[in-house]
Homo-oligomer: A and B are copies of this chain.
Amino acid sequence: MSLPRSENLMRRLGMAAPLLLSPMAGVADAALAIAVARAGGLGAIAAATLSIEQLHEQTRRFRDAVDAPLNLNFFAHTVSPPSPADIERWRAALAPLHEQLGLSLPTQVAAGRQPFDEEALAAVEALRPQVVSFHFGLPDASLLERVKATGAFVLSSGTTVAEASWLQARGADAIIAQGWEAGGHRGMFLDTDVGAQVGTLSLLPQIVDAVEVPVIAAGGIADGRGLAAALMLGASAVQVGTAFLRSPEARTSPAHRAALATSTDDATRVTNVFTGRPARGLLNRLMRELGPMSSEAIAFPYAGSLLAALREHDPGGDFVPLWAGQSAPLAKAMGAEEITRGMIDEALDVLRDTGVSSASWAAKRS
């Protein structure tokens, strides 16, 4: 059952193991992608916080190091600049904290992160990655068509069955089912109520039942047990991020690493105060003081631009996002290649042991 699914996707994407590195904008670059690719997984480079020049450079670095397929990841959000009144409400919410810290509150908002556009398309056409993935939906049909014309296999995240079906109908070649547990930005683009977001164990089989394309499980998978469980639920592969944040190959900050090392299962929250869109991270001061969810936060990605002074002042993880999923305590401080191999070996052990057990259990029943 899980065999043909995983093997079909692995063959199609040229992977030796059913594991995709989660593209983690800002905390990972080619170094992490290289390590995961060396262990048989699919490496990813997140373009969201890179210039086009940097994207070319990171891709070159990856290809110089390994002969393996690559996933280039882009945001596909709709940009709607906030009104002056919205900006003033967000500034008012941020003012007390700035006063308290003796910081001057920024006045200018900037988009910072651009959605996938003509320039990004040109990079895809030049770089020809085997996989192109999107977060927050998909780009316009005309852009997407040209991405697909390069031969790229297109992925995007669905956080509900409705989103997964929408993505399939518009041309996604596989769906990443992103459950409640996942760290970083939630891919939600049709649904807006964070309280309706679905746990991975429940979401995954429902998306598998609803779509024809392969489904990749994301959210809470940080060891071989999670990988084996995802295969049971019908996933063709898993996408893993948080499990790699403590590896030397990740660009995780010292404060972020320290917080991960002592985190607990209930240490994260979904917050919109850092960027304007819901994302999961370790609970810290800014989330406590303004949220975790704030109705004052302006639209993604503008909200973050008014945090510039706080970010610069940050004494150690109070005012910067410490993105992490709910399985953060399972993340190990070891090399990313070793983490990947360990997950795969553990999954194979779990699957093999339970194969024996199910036979004996079945015998007992009959």
Contact = CB atoms under 8 A, between A and B. Distances in A.
Main secondary structure of the interface of A (DSSP, over half): helix
A225 interface: yes
A288 B201 CA distance: 26
A200 B226 CA distance: 11
A3 to B, nearest CB: 3
A25 interface: no
Contacts of A4: 357
Given A205-B223, A266-B160, A2 B357 contact: yes
Interface stretch (A84-92, A111-119, A229-237): A229-237
A228 interface: yes
Interface residues of A, number: 75
A73 B229 CA distance: 29
A17 B4 CA distance: 28
Interface string A5-23: 0110000000011000000
A195 B2 CA distance: 33
A201 B228 contact: no
A135 to B, nearest CB: 19
A202 interface: yes
B354 A232 contact: yes
* Copies of this protein chain in the complex: 2
A284 interface: no
A327 B206 contact: yes
A40 B361 contact: no
Contact of A161 (B195, B264, B325, B351): B264
B219 A201 contact: yes
A191 to B, nearest CB: 6
Contact of A348 (B3, B223, B264, B361): B361
B6 A357 contact: yes
Contacts of A234: 225
Contact of A203 (B203, B230, B265, B354): B265
A177 B200 CA distance: 15
A356 B161 contact: no
Interface of A: 1-4, 6-7, 16-17, 40, 160-162, 179-181, 191, 193, 195-203, 205-206, 219-223, 225-226, 228-234, 264-270, 283, 292, 325-327, 329-330, 344, 347-362, 364-365
22 contacts: A1-B354, A3-B356, A3-B361, A6-B361, A17-B365, A161-B265, A162-B264, A195-B292, A196-B268, A198-B266, A198-B326, A199-B199, A200-B201, A202-B219, A206-B330, A231-B357, A232-B232, A351-B354, A351-B357, A351-B358, A352-B355, A352-B362
